[in-house]
Amino acid sequence: MITNLIQIVYVSQPFGFDEPTLAGILLDARRCNKRDDVTGALVCRDDIYLQLLEGPEGAVRAAYARISRDDRHARVKELLNRKIQTRLFANWAMLHDPAKTWIWTEEEIADAALDRAEPTEIIKVFNDLSDRSGKPAVH
Ligand SMILES: Cc1cc2nc3c(=O)[nH]c(=O)nc-3n(C[C@H](O)[C@H](O)[C@H](O)COP(=O)(O)O)c2cc1C
């Protein structure tokens, strides 16, 4: 059977951003994603989460629905939803990037830069991150 793979990217605003909260989120994400064959990356900073989820369509939609209801962040907004042939983060249950990849300043984010960003710009953030992530063991 051929599985339909999709990618969803969303942006949100952290609520109560600190190390224990982030560690808890990553624990939940990796546990569920390993179970559901979902992979992806979470770029984070105290003013923003930008997450890419990829995998079988039903599993990604279900994960996104759960994530949307999570009160550890607010103003969850879908930026991208597309079919894909191959994954960008095949080896990562959820790669965590503490905004090293970040191309927008806090001022730009506050000024809603992501609302104006083109899909190609958003995908570029994750392409660059994927290039730099190498081929590690499953995390
Ligand atoms: C920023 C953020 C990213 C998350 N990423 C994922 C994820 O990649 N996969 C996932 O299943 N849950 C993720 N979660 C956690 C879900 O919101 C939820 O707690 C988890 O899927 C367990 O769902 P359940 O409590 O309904 O069983 C994330 C939550 C936040 C706040």
Average pLDDT of every residue of the chain: 90
Which residue's CA is minimally distant from atom 9 of ligand 1?
29
Looking at CATH, the fold of the domain delimited by 5-130 is given as Alpha-Beta Plaits (3.30.70)
Distances (CA, A) of 111 to 58, 61, 100, 114: 34, 29, 20, 9
- H runs (alpha helix) in 15-118: 19-36, 57-68, 106-110, 113-116
**48 ligand 1 Cβ < 6 A:** no
CA of 136 to the centre of ligand 1 (A): 23
Mean pLDDT of 49-71: 97
Q: Is the CB of 32 under 6 A from ligand 1?
A: yes
The two three-digit tokens of residue 48, written as one number: 């923003």
Instruction: For the chain, list the strands marked E by DSSP.
Output: 5-14, 39-45, 48-56, 73-84, 95-97
User: Any idea which residue has 């997450």 for tokens?
Assistant: 51
How much is the average pLDDT of 33-40? Answer: 98
Question: Of 84-88, 92-96, 111-115, which gets the smallest average pLDDT?
Answer: 111-115
Sheet holding 39-45, edge to edge: 73-84, 5-14, 48-56, 39-45, 95-97
Nearest-angstrom CA–CA distance, 39 and 31? 11
State the distance from the centre of ligand 1 to the C-alpha of 22, rounded, in angstroms.
Answer: 11
What is the pTM assigned to this prediction?
A: 0.92
pLDDT at position 135 over 80 = no
Q: Residue ranges per domain, the chain? A: 5-130
Q: Does residue 130's CB lie within 6 angstroms of at least one atom of ligand 1?
A: no
